Amino acid sequence: MRPRTSEPASFDDSVDAPTMSPNSAPPVPQPEPAAAPPRLRLQGIAKVYPSVTANDQVHLSVQPGEIRAILGENGAGKSTLMKIIYGVTRPSAGHLYWEGEEVQVESPAHARSLGIGMVFQHFSLFETLTVVENVALALPGKPALDELAQRITEVSERYGLPVDPRRHIHALSVGERQRVEIIRCLLQNPRLLIMDEPTSVLTPQAVRKLFETLRQLSAEGCSILYISHKLDEIQALCHTATVLRGGKVTGECIPAQETPASMARLMIGKELPQCEHGAAKTDGDVRLRLAGLSHACDDPFGTDLKDIHLDVRAGEIVGIAGVSGNGQQELLRAISGEDVLAEKFPVQICGVEAGRLSPGQRRKLGLAFVPEERLGRGAVPGMSLADNALLTAARNQSLLAAGFLRFNRARGFAQRCIDAFNVKCGGPGAAAKSLSGGNLQKFIVGREILQTPKLLVCAQPTWGVDVGAAAFIRQSLIDLRDRGCAVLVISEELDELFEICDRIAVIAKGRLSPTRPAAETTVEDIGVWMSGLWPGAEPTAPPSQPTHTESLHA
Amino acid sequence: MLELEARAEPSRLMSYLSPLLAVVLMIAGGLLVFSALGKDPVEGFRIFFLNPVKDLYSVSELLLKATPLMLCAIGLAIGFRANVWNIGAEGQFMLGAVAATGVALHFDGSESALLLPAMIVAGALGGAAWAAIPALLRTRFNANEILVSLMLVYVAQLFVSWLVFGPWKDPDGFNFPQTKMFGDAALMPALLEGTRLHLGFALAIALLVAGYAFMNRSFAGFRMRVAGEAPEAARYAGFSATRMIWVGLLLGGAAAGLAGMSEVAGPMGQLTDKVASGYGFAAIIVAFVGRLNAFGILLASLLMALLYIGGEQAQQYLNLPSSISMVFQGMLLFFLLGSDVFINYRLRLRRRAT
Amino acid sequence: MDASLFTSMLFATVVAGTPLIIVALGLLVSEKAGVLNLGAEGMMAMGAVAAFAITHHSGSPWLGVLAGMGAGMMMALIFGVLTLSLMANQVASGLALAIFGVGLAAFVGKPYEAVALQAVPPIRIPFIADLPLVGEALYNQQALVYFSWALFWGLLWFLYRSRAGLVLRAVGESPSSAHAIGYPVIRIRYLAVLFGGAMAGIGGAFLSVFYTPMWAEGMVAGRGWIALALVVFATWRPLRVMVGAYLFGGVMITQLFIQGSGLQIDFPSQLLSSLPYWATIVVLVVISRNINTIRLNSPISLGKPYRPDA
């Protein structure tokens, strides 16, 4: 982390002029003098849902050309606020002023006509249609497709976002899809651009290119609202920041003048918890061995796995980094048993060739698995926590008797998970979907860990989880490792991997890089490897085209 | 402006009230229908809803009518809970009836006490075999089981028609499409003197209890519930989707086949080409109205039987076609689907934000 | 086989396939928007009985067709309210509609069971109908046959060359994305569902007013379900719907073929009548075998409820 002088954050709500920060951007011209009205001003905005107040008395002000970060952890209300600005939702109270005049943003089309553009975190693109068709759908009127393709190419060249208008979305990588989203906004000459967590799907190099584009836009007078929880990116890019916590504005600051620690304190209200890492063993027995794992994916939109080699030993945490869409899902399914392989030896669990075993059989060997999706995969949303305990723990925790359910034991086990992992909920009878993301994740992790596995595989263990729960989960993984378990973590958050892993590898286009000790690797290296360019890598074959065509014929 | 607002948690109260609300709405709708047809609504209510329960014999007829509904519905409910949509219960019912008839006719004249149990087994196997076709096609070839099981209903009807007009036609039956009457050993024993209520009813109750135990207390039932609610979670847990499709369809088919057997070996005493008369489809409604659980199915079967008999009463005393039952049954299901919305949503008067 | 037999078989195939085309194309539009309406059988039945009744009372088969269309739309509206506004499960609601529609039609149609309608003369297109072999078969047909062809071309243009069609397909693929961009997803789906109902009603009207001008309980005989299977078999493409419908039409009149060809095979009539249903099963198996065929072609949000997240 780059050192900063620590200065207390300012709590007034006047806007500070942007300052230069040493390590990052070239100088940015001053925004227009404060006599001109702010481009966007929110006053007292509130949004109340029956179960939660997402936004409470939010004040915000953005000048032309300003890049303002909206900083907050998951659940702080950032996305809801942006939906209000973009007209997807209506506020329960408060006023919105656009270039000095009060407006009610009725709909996204209205927002676009005002000059507000939004690039969503989860892209609103249509996979079966081409780039041109997707852009056309977002534009008013009936643009001629050929002329539109021309305009797309112009914009893409001007802002360094190369994309071919005639390709179908499903054939594009995640980074390319984001470019389409951005171009779609830019074609409407926005005066305010909202970017919602844009870098979670990008390699470090791609992030830098994105920042260049955003700075160019800002220099041309476009204001930018940049939603993120990544403190170092905000420091590199943003002039100012508004911090949200629990739906309220808890402060404003100039990121260049803050440290990550001080911003984190604003964000979560207390010190950023640290993990006790400790040292890994290096001589434990091999609990997971992937021996030349190759698997052609059933799904035509998926990624084939190619010749993956990996060993995970008892007493260590191995991490696999990678931008989503490079084979992580397929790899996890091959390890967990949800996809059964053609042969048994490529996946070995505790020395047993397990490639053709079902998930239940692999769990008997000592495997435990925390999947990426909590609701719908890791837990059944409508069922109670006790019932959800039965999902994976039925056999090895003796929750059955002659094929019948033993409710008391299931409840008891669920209660143990709740107690050991500090799960805030209404007891073992509470429905899984009534828990917050962080608490449900703690329950699922707890359920798997309390089965004392020999090998634990986790996917995105702290995605969408509040900082407190995230720290708890990471510490639990480290403690589990110290008890002699082998742990494999697949994550898109590089910070997390560096925090807890002993060795790191990168997955790119279905291939796995060799592992390196985390202490000897930098973010730069990982970024390079994400493009498949690690030493010893073969040149990758061109991606095969899936045959899905929403074509222009019957 | 009225708007629907999502509740934080599904309302338990509404999940009990919703079927009651649906029944009330159905009665109200029905009274409107009576008026529209020029009949006195109060009279219509009395004849349709009250006649069927006015004395012991009427109640026994109600239970008799409810028997095949209970049998089919509990089998269907197990499948539906696992998202296995067996719509072909009507056809499986018929094949069960055919199988049982086959045994009865083959051993015609026998006095053996084993004949009836053999027919019961045959009925279950016949229905299960017919349901095995959509199961196989779904698990091997991904063919949608709704359409396959439905097509097989039409095939089954034509098959029965061929049997009773052709090889199984009663030679002394004046050319009517029906088989010989079954001998005494091939008929279900009566349960209550002076009524037509027979062993089938006891079988139905037994099956409801078994169904409850399976769905709510066994691990196999748990697996099916997970597969229905969250298929990805079932995959994650390693529950075999293939096995559940087979179990869901075979159990549904066997139950429907039993129902078919209990019809032909009950008061009908023979196979005719009108053997199924819509029970298989009515059972689908029973399963939904009964919320896919055994106790609800018990109540819903009684209600649907009431609607059937009410239709017959209406035909006799109000001069309305008996297919008016189907109108009521359809209305019940629609109103139930509609009032279920209040389990997860509540109605709000929305005023504009300032 | 001689020429006149070929011509009459072609004629009969076109006639038998026409109601399937109309209903299936309507369902196709509805499914392209992401809504699976299993109630086709019920909508057809109501269309048939309404058309028959109005034709009988008014003397005009065209008023009958309009009435059939209206009845189909009303049934579809019930389905739409349940699934789009009240967010009920699409499969259950469609089944309910199928059961209710058939039952209601049987109830309403009771008084008409013994009634006969006057047959409607076909419309002969001059000159083209004089073509040898195919002229009489294709161009001396009922108006609704020509309508089915016009519908096909109209839908091709609508779905793949018009902006509205593009929006419809987008809604069917990802209603949440369409909503995020600002399209009225629920309203678009209502329109698609009502269109499906209208076409089902017209298909039913064809059966009771033109095909066999009479009404009998159960006369739809599963065609609504076959139309649903047809859309799957055609992988949601209009041209394949046409081809498939005529194939099915051919299977449906196999009985006629066998009698007409003079073959002395003594199949039980029930077996022949069951051929279309077996054919449907076979066709479903063939098309579903490769799981990717469906996955790649079906509208991605088909059958899933859309909850507008306020």
Residue that is last in its domain, among A240, A268, A296: A268
Closest partner residue to A377 (CB to CB) among B9, B219, B236 is: B236
Does one domain contain both A108 and A217?
Answer: yes
Answer yes or no: is pLDDT of A21 > 60: no
Q: What average pLDDT is seen over chain C? A: 89
Does one domain contain both A223 and A95?
Answer: yes
Interval C226-279: pLDDT, tens? 999 999 889 899 999 999 999 999 888 876 677 666 666 677 888 888 888 999
Does one domain contain both A250 and A314?
Answer: no
Does one domain contain both A291 and A261?
Answer: no
Residue A29: the pLDDT is 46
Residue B37: the pLDDT is 82
Mean of pLDDT values over A198-222 = 88
pLDDT category at A538 given cuts 50, 70, 90 is low
Contacts of residue A137 in chain C, CB cutoff 8 Å?
166-167, 170, 178, 181, 183
CB B332 within 8 A of CB B22: yes
Residue A270: the pLDDT is 73
Residue A377: the pLDDT is 94
Residue A19: the pLDDT is 39
Mean of pLDDT values over A218-238 = 90
Does one domain contain both A212 and A96?
Answer: yes
Residue that is last in its domain, among A242, A268, A294: A268
A26 domain residue, yes or no:
no
Domain coordinates in residue numbering, chain C: 3-297
**In terms of pLDDT, which residue wins out, A15 or A34?**
A34
CATH number at residue A349: 3.40.50.300
When scoring C49, C95, C112, C280 by the number of chain B Cβ atoms within 10 A, the one with the most, hence best to mutate, is C95
A438 domain residue, yes or no:
no
CB-based contact A358 B9, cutoff 8 Å: no
Answer yes or no: is pLDDT of A511 > 70: yes
C165 → chain A, closest CA residue: A137
CB-based contact A403 B8, cutoff 8 Å: no
Residue A542 distance to chain B (closest CA, Å): 31
Answer yes or no: is pLDDT of B353 > 70: no
Answer yes or no: is pLDDT of A171 > 80: yes
Mean of pLDDT values over B48-72 = 91
Closest partner residue to A93 (CB to CB) among B5, B229, B353 is: B353
A115: left (phi over 0), alpha (psi -120 to 50) or beta: left
Does one domain contain both A102 and A198?
Answer: yes
Does one domain contain both A255 and A354?
Answer: no
Closest partner residue to C277 (CB to CB) among B146, B155, B337 is: B155
Answer yes or no: is pLDDT of B354 > 60: no
Residue C310: the pLDDT is 38
Contacts of residue A387 in chain B, CB cutoff 8 Å?
222
Least confident of A19-23, A407-411, C9-13: A19-23
Answer yes or no: is pLDDT of A554 > 90: no
Does one domain contain both A351 and A210?
Answer: no
Interval A85-128: pLDDT, tens? 988 888 889 999 999 899 999 888 889 889 999 988 778 889 88
Does one domain contain both A229 and A300?
Answer: no
Q: Percent helix, strand, coil in chain C (nearest 5)?
A: 75, 0, 25
Answer yes or no: is pLDDT of B89 > 90: yes
C299 → chain A, closest CA residue: A128
Domain that holds residue A73: 40-115+190-268
A378 → chain B, closest CA residue: B233
Residue B226 distance to chain C (closest CA, Å): 18
For chains A and C, CB pairs below 8 A equal 70
Does one domain contain both A330 and A219?
Answer: no
Interval B209-226: pLDDT, tens? 999 999 999 999 999 999
What backbone torsions phi and psi does residue C61 show, to the nearest 5 degrees?
A: -65, -25
Residue B203: the pLDDT is 94
Alpha-carbon separation of residue C188 from A48, A302, B261, B338, C48 (angstroms):
29, 31, 48, 21, 27
Interval C118-158: pLDDT, tens? 888 888 888 777 777 788 788 888 889 999 999 999 999 99
A401 domain residue, yes or no:
no
Mean of pLDDT values over B273-277 = 82
Tell which residue, B159, B193, B165, has the closest CA to residue B178. B165
A417 domain residue, yes or no:
no
Helix axes B324-339, C90-109, angle to 10 degrees: 150
- What's the domain count of chain A? 2
Answer yes or no: is pLDDT of A187 > 50: yes
Interval C76-100: pLDDT, tens? 999 999 999 988 889 889 988 998 9
Closest partner residue to A380 (CB to CB) among B9, B226, B240 is: B226
A446 domain residue, yes or no:
no
Residue C99 distance to chain B (closest CA, Å): 6
Residue C194: the pLDDT is 97
A433 domain residue, yes or no:
no
A8 domain residue, yes or no:
no
A221 domain residue, yes or no:
yes
Mean of pLDDT values over B266-280 = 86
Does one domain contain both A467 and A334?
Answer: yes
How many Cα atoms occupy the beta-carbon half-sphere of B33 within 13 Å? 23
CB-based contact A360 B238, cutoff 8 Å: yes
Closest partner residue to C181 (CB to CB) among A124, A298, A299 is: A124
Residue A30 distance to chain B (closest CA, Å): 35
Q: Going by CATH, does the domain composed of C3-297 fall within 1.10.760? A: no
Per residue in B305-328, is it b (16+ CB within 10 Å) or e — as a string? bbbbbbbbbbeeebebbbbbbbbb
pLDDT category at A28 given cuts 50, 70, 90 is very low
Residue B203 distance to chain A (closest CA, Å): 23
Does one domain contain both A197 and A102?
Answer: yes
Closest partner residue to B323 (CB to CB) among C38, C103, C284 is: C103
Residue B350 distance to chain C (closest CA, Å): 12
Q: What's the ipTM?
A: 0.88
Contacts of residue A125 in chain C, CB cutoff 8 Å?
174, 177
The one-letter code for the residue type at C281 is I
Question: What is d(CA C228, CA C23) in angstroms, rounded to the nearest whole number?
Answer: 9
